[in-house]
Amino acid sequence: MSEERIILAHGSGGRLSHELVERVFLPHLGSEPLRQLNDAATLALPPGRLAFTTDAFVVKPLFFRGGDIGRLAVCGTVNDLATAGARPLYLSAAFVVEEGLPLTTLERVAAGMAAAAAEAGVVIVTGDTKVVERGSADGLFVTTAGVGTISAGQDIAGQNARPGDAVIITGSLGDHGIAVISAREGLSFSTEIASDVAPLNHLVAEMLASGEVHALRDPTRGGLATTLNEIAGQSSVGVLLREDHLPIHAGVKAACELLGFDPLYVANEGKMVAFVAARDVEAVLRRLRQLPYGAEAAIIGEAVAEPRGRVLLRTTIGGTRVVDMLAGELLPRIC
Amino acid sequence: MSEERIILAHGSGGRLSHELVERVFLPHLGSEPLRQLNDAATLALPPGRLAFTTDAFVVKPLFFRGGDIGRLAVCGTVNDLATAGARPLYLSAAFVVEEGLPLTTLERVAAGMAAAAAEAGVVIVTGDTKVVERGSADGLFVTTAGVGTISAGQDIAGQNARPGDAVIITGSLGDHGIAVISAREGLSFSTEIASDVAPLNHLVAEMLASGEVHALRDPTRGGLATTLNEIAGQSSVGVLLREDHLPIHAGVKAACELLGFDPLYVANEGKMVAFVAARDVEAVLRRLRQLPYGAEAAIIGEAVAEPRGRVLLRTTIGGTRVVDMLAGELLPRIC
């Protein structure tokens, strides 16, 4: 029996589009609003400010050790909402599919999305699918958007880091980037390194309950170095990192040496950087280390008054070097 | 001087990604939330239920008479929110760009988005850009999501059409589809037919103020025939259409005859189908005809008790035929 594949008519908006929704999406993602099959979902929203975000995902390959584009698309948007201190609630999902994609591939992706959404406690409520001719896309691109609510009094933003804040990373660096490049290139260390892709909203809620958090960001594309440069610039603070405090798995370190990468620039998909009031940092760290996605959390540095907008690294051998934002492109299509 | 083009590093998340945002997106789309450059926008929301929707846009070519992918991406999402009786407020925009796309193309698209957003009165508050290697996408895909609020007491849905409702179309059929196929194939009638792509939220607000509207939908992919079949199925009503009441421009009619298309299946991007309480239909129609996007509005049929879930067309010569949902694919990448 030949494998069923996506054809252009699956994107027509007509009968085959409806069948695709019925056969592939509703069985995995069939929330009550999605089943209504209206053009917009209508939803109740708890009080509070709204957080709203979107991300496009073009990761190659679609499946890698530890995750897939579906899990990535859900977690990326959930985590972006969490960086605003929001409780993520509802997600949208839009698919651009290349003609010829096996239906089973789309089903596996939908299953990955469903599992991640269930773990995060979010619901996929609306979606869209377009099909382009063979050669006009590379298999599958997924764009998610998400909404959540922010409780009164919560004010977390990249602008809010202050000199004296401790900088926490919730776990090891670079696992996602190395897992994807391993899967793409068939490198031998692929057997040991798995992507860290995970929804961090529950972990963030625990952090916020444990201490005063000023800024949060997930260091995805561009890695920790780029994320810290962004926050340093937005908050007009300096960041002083301690190289010997950076948690990096031995396998990632070895892979980075082999490939000529700096783990500070390699993407993560299940980590948060937090700027935390110094007096609360031990309490926050203690709580984090009790959590499944925070067991390897570490204090990796501090925010300082000068030099404003710069990130400095105190190296293991005692020197200090400037850590800049990623220049150029390290690993295309990592997310 | 050689033209500046998108390179992979524009999607790195690092310095060139930031430069792209500063140079291309902020000048056109730079709302206050977007300028914050946080991973999620944080927004005030008026009371009411939330409407949430998304659409991916892969139209080919990117520019066509009457519009472009940017205007389309804004209007499509605004109109989907309007179909729920919502007031559209905030949009997200995610771009998947093929390496090599001229920067000026992206700028033109951003300008198209900005103009449409201004007309609709919505704000683009968050976004994302990914770049894929040459040959891995076809120029540019844009995915928008949108949120809006629904006032208390408003209950418009595809499930709510009732036997006896009048069916209104807010203007002529098929202009978008024919404009795009003309631009794509360089057909000669391209000079006369422009896409109808437009934001319809203001028009919908006027309709809702003029009478009792039960169901609304914009007949995009799959055309009027598919949209009416959807609502007939969702509401378990029949729909009886009058062929001689369907507003179709002569140029579209001629192009459809030439191409072998049925205008009932050709996409629109600036039209609404409304199921309106019969007693209010004249008031709604009168108001519509005073509006720029409603001048050619017409009553094209009615909802009937039987046959449930079916759409029938009373033809000009007096016969009746079943109008089914679009089978197969008429025009790939029309939106």
Query: Do B184 and B288 belong together in one domain?
Result: yes
Query: How far A263 CA sits from the closest chain B CA (Å)?
Result: 14
Which residues in chain A are contacts of B94 at CB distance < 8 A?
54-56, 143, 145
Q: What is the dihedral of CA A16, A17, A19, A25, to 10 degrees?
A: 150
Would the pLDDT of A1 be above 60?
no
Element (H, E) at A142: strand A140-150
Phi, psi at B24, each rounded to 5°: -105, -50
| Any domain includes A332 | no
Nearest CA in chain A to B218: A39
Give me chain B's average pLDDT, please: 96
| Any domain includes A187 | yes
Which residues in chain A are contacts of B17 at CB distance < 8 A?
221-222
DSSP E strands in chain B: the ranges are 41-43, 49-57, 63-64, 67-68, 87-98, 123-132, 140-150, 166-169, 213-217, 238-242, 273-276, 298-304, 311-314, 320-322
Contact A58 B132 (CB under 8 A): yes
Query: Do B306 and B178 belong together in one domain?
Result: yes
Residues 146-165 of chain A with CB under 8 A from chain B are 146-148, 150, 157-159
Three-state secondary structure of B241-303: EEHHHCCCCHHHHHHHHHHCCCHHHCCCCCCCEEEECHHHHHHHHHHHHCCCCCCCCEEEEEE
| Any A CB within 8 A of B141 CB | yes
Q: What is the dihedral of CA A325, A326, A327, A330, to 10 degrees?
A: 180
Query: How far B204 CA sits from the closest chain A CA (Å)?
Result: 15
Contact B13 A96 (CB under 8 A): no
What is the arithmetic mean of pLDDT over A68-97?
A: 98
How many independent structural domains does chain A possess? 2
CATH number at residue B110: 3.30.1330.10
| Any B CB within 8 A of A132 CB | yes
Query: Do A181 and A125 belong together in one domain?
Result: no
Q: Tell me, what's the pLDDT at A187? A: 77
Choosing among B140, B143, B201, B229, which should be mutated to test the A contact, i.e. which has the most A CBs within 10 A? Answer: B143
Query: Do B242 and B301 belong together in one domain?
Result: yes
Q: Tell me, what's the pLDDT at A102? A: 98
Query: Do A105 and A168 belong together in one domain?
Result: no
Query: How far B74 CA sits from the closest chain A CA (Å)?
Result: 14
User: Which of B95, B124, B150 is where one domain is finished?
Assistant: B150
Contact A143 B56 (CB under 8 A): yes
Query: Do A176 and A56 belong together in one domain?
Result: no
Query: Do B131 and B177 belong together in one domain?
Result: no
Query: Do B79 and B167 belong together in one domain?
Result: no
| Any domain includes B142 | yes
| Any B CB within 8 A of A23 CB | no
| Any domain includes A327 | no
pLDDT in tens, A31-67: 999 999 999 999 999 989 999 999 999 999 999 999 9
What is the arithmetic mean of pLDDT over A4-25?
A: 96
| Any B CB within 8 A of A9 CB | yes
User: Which of B150, B174, B203 is where one domain is finished?
Assistant: B150
If one counts every other C-beta atom within 10 angstroms of the C-beta of residue A123, the result is 18
| Any domain includes B117 | yes
The token pair that represents B239 in the structure block: 């729909």
Count the alpha carbons within 13 Å of B292 in the hemisphere toward its beta carbon: 9
Choosing among B8, B18, B25, B39, which should be mutated to test the A contact, i.e. which has the most A CBs within 10 A? Answer: B39
Would the pLDDT of B190 be above 60?
no
Whether the CB-CB separation of B301 and B311 falls below 8 Å is answered with no
Contact A332 B133 (CB under 8 A): yes
The token pair that represents B34 in the structure block: 């977007």
| Any B CB within 8 A of A137 CB | yes
Share of chain B above pLDDT 90, in %: 94
Residues 256-315 of chain B with CB under 8 A from chain A are 265, 267
Would the pLDDT of B45 be above 70?
yes
Whether the CB-CB separation of A275 and A287 falls below 8 Å is answered with no
Q: Tell me, what's the pLDDT at A100? A: 98
Query: How far A60 CA sits from the closest chain B CA (Å)?
Result: 10
Whether the CB-CB separation of A288 and A168 falls below 8 Å is answered with yes
Cα separation of B148 and A223, whole Å? 34
Residue B186: pLDDT band by 50, 70, 90 thresholds? confident
Nearest CA in chain B to A34: B53
pLDDT in tens, B100-138: 999 999 999 999 999 999 999 999 999 999 999 999 999
Query: Do A251 and A309 belong together in one domain?
Result: yes
Query: How far A277 CA sits from the closest chain B CA (Å)?
Result: 20
What lies within 8 Å, CB to CB, of A296 at 6+ separation is A170, A171, A172, A247, A289
Only one residue has tokens 């609502």, namely B231
Cα separation of B263 and B253, whole Å? 7
Name the pTM for this structure.
Answer: 0.97
Q: Tell me, what's the pLDDT at A196? A: 98
Would you give the DSSP letter of residue A102? B
Q: What are the beta bridge partners of residue B63?
A: B68
Would you give the DSSP letter of residue B51? E
What is the arithmetic mean of pLDDT over B298-321?
A: 97
Which residues in chain B are contacts of A15 at CB distance < 8 A?
324-327
Range of the domain at B308: 158-322
Which residues in chain A are contacts of B93 at CB distance < 8 A?
54
Would the pLDDT of A111 be above 90?
yes
Query: Do A99 and A168 belong together in one domain?
Result: no
Whether the CB-CB separation of A135 and A38 falls below 8 Å is answered with no
- Which candidate from A41, A54, A130 shows the least CB-CB separation from B128? A54
| Any A CB within 8 A of B220 CB | yes
Q: Select from B40, B325, B210 the least CA-distant residue to A37.
A: B325
| Any domain includes A335 | no
Q: Tell me, what's the pLDDT at B80? A: 98
Whether the CB-CB separation of A102 and A1 falls below 8 Å is answered with no
What lies within 8 Å, CB to CB, of B256 at 6+ separation is B174, B178, B262, B263, B266
Q: Tell me, what's the pLDDT at B188? A: 67
CATH number at residue A299: 3.90.650.10
Whether the CB-CB separation of A331 and A177 falls below 8 Å is answered with yes
User: Which of B96, B122, B150 is where one domain is finished?
Assistant: B150
Element (H, E) at A134: none
| Any domain includes B271 | yes
| Any domain includes A263 | yes
Residue B189: pLDDT band by 50, 70, 90 thresholds? low
Query: How far A213 CA sits from the closest chain B CA (Å)?
Result: 15
Taking the alpha carbons of A149, A153, A159, A162 in that order, is the dihedral positive or negative?
negative
Contact A220 B14 (CB under 8 A): no
| Any B CB within 8 A of A19 CB | no
Contact A226 B55 (CB under 8 A): no
Query: Do A163 and A291 belong together in one domain?
Result: yes
Query: Do B200 and B244 belong together in one domain?
Result: yes
Would the pLDDT of B160 be above 70?
yes
- Which candidate from A12, A80, A329 shows the least CB-CB separation from B221? A12
Whether the CB-CB separation of B107 and B175 falls below 8 Å is answered with no
Q: Select from B211, B210, B180, B215 the least CA-distant residue to B195.
A: B180
pLDDT in tens, A163-206: 999 999 999 999 999 999 999 988 766 568 999 999 999 999 99
Three-state secondary structure of A243-293: HHHCCCCHHHHHHHHHHCCCHHHCCCCCCCEEEECHHHHHHHHHHHHCCCC
Give me chain A's average pLDDT, please: 96
How many residues are recorded in chain B?
335
